[in-house]
Amino acid sequence: MSTLSDVWLLLDDPQMTFSAGSQKVLPANTGAWIGNTSSTIGGDISIAFQGTSISFTGDTSLSTTSPTWFFAGIDLNSPYNVSFPGAGTQIYTQWYQTPMLPDGLHFVNLSSIFVNVDYAIITAGATTQLNGSTIVVDDRSSEITYNGNGWATSDTEIILGSGWVNGPPLGNTTHRTSNVGDGFSFRFAGSKIDVYGVFEWTATGNVDVDFVLDGETTSSSLFVPLNTVVVHPEILNYQLFSSEDLLAGNHTLIMNITQANGNQSFILDYLTYQPSFSFLAGKPNFTASASSASDSPLSSASNTGMTGAMIHNGMNIGAIVGGVLGGLISIFISLLFFLWRWRRHRADIERRLQESIFQPFQHLHRKIQTPQFAPTHTDSIAPPAPTRISGWEEPPAYDELS
């Protein structure tokens, strides 16, 4: 995937166009797929998007007779050959990502492909229209502030059980804790927010959680009900919190663990929200504002001022009167000195006028030097390299596709 500083847009499989294939739908929170759907494709995948790159995640082919490669065509460039990662073994992974493209509108066609598609991630650019989109925030994003000492980062794959393909969470990591008092905070500008994680069906005990959105608290408890038939040891994309129909604008979400028993954990994978800004230029930088607030000396300065006022109120009245008189005397002496200097200067001018002593003006000529600028050599500036995906062949650069 792209770097964590990028803004990711989620594109679920129902939003894509397939030439041939079928879609499988599962009830909510019972499967491993985002949006509880995935699509199996035997033909072409066509995507038009506005941004700088796009990646696809899902199951690779199980059949040993299925092709282990496909063709990727971008814009008007000639298609090139792409091999699936882990050829010969079915895995759930990000199986294709375009090279880094110029910011703008692009058309991607994946042909002669047999694969399962769960979702795609678009890296937004400055020209990307964000109205109606869904922004994904990974658990490692600096926009999420974690509190407490119990948080741990995990990059292990999620065990889904018999008949399912195990795989990594979104972004390849999760944050987990079962420590009372631990939590996180997240600020965003939008009209809807969801929190997703991993739920462990084989764990015992419970974790009670408070979600506080703009001061309103929603409490929930993570536990496995009695007599539950466990289908999956773990579940990806488990919805931990959701709030819709918010007023478009800035919001703050705070999570806090209030009780924990047994070995059940709160596991965060990612958040999604619908932005209230139309382009990246309008996205608030909450990380910078939070840093500025923490570094601001306003609070300590205010306290210092109050303490100082209390001290001055207790000073001796005689000392105050003496200080005022001393200041007035200093001002009077300064005025006398200024008056003496002014009279002396005026007398000197009158003397020079009477003696007709004039000095001719000197015309000073300064040579203005034109600054010299060295020409910029654009061929010395290397284009950014595409993100390398572990276990993949590096896709060719965009300008080499034609």
Domains of the chain: 8-128 (2.60.120.260), 139-297 (2.60.120.260)
C-beta neighbour count of 287 within 10 angstroms = 14
**The predicted structure's pLDDT at residue 295:** 39
CA–CA separation, 266 and 197 (whole Å)? 8
Q: Under the phi-then-psi rule, with left for phi > 0, alpha for psi from -120 to 50, and beta for the rest, what region is 88?
A: left
Distances (CA, A) of 95 to 45, 112, 187, 346, 390: 13, 15, 32, 90, 10
- Rounded CA-CA distance 311/259 in Å is 47
Provide the pLDDT for residue 28: 54
The pTM for the full model equals 0.71
User: Measuring CA to CA, which residue among 224, 187, 189, 188 is closest to residue 204?
Assistant: 224
In this predicted structure, what is the pLDDT of residue 67? Answer: 83
Task: List 254's β-bridge partners, or say none.
Answer: 185, 212
Instruction: Report in angstroms the alpha-carbon separations of 381 from 100, 253, 374.
Output: 16, 42, 15
Chain centroid to Cα 53, Å, comes to: 17
pLDDT in 10s for each residue of the chain, 402 residues: 555 568 999 998 777 777 766 666 665 555 578 887 888 888 889 999 999 999 999 988 876 777 889 999 999 999 999 999 886 788 899 999 999 999 999 999 999 888 889 999 999 999 999 999 999 999 999 999 999 999 999 999 999 888 888 899 999 999 999 999 999 999 999 999 999 999 999 999 999 999 999 999 999 999 998 888 888 899 999 999 999 999 999 999 999 999 999 999 999 999 999 999 999 999 999 875 554 444 333 333 333 333 333 323 333 444 444 544 555 565 556 556 555 555 554 455 445 444 433 333 333 332 333 333 333 333 333 333 333 333 344 455 655 565
For residue 162, the model assigns a pLDDT of 82
| Residue 363 DSSP one-character state | -
Please report the pLDDT score of residue 53 as a whole number. 97
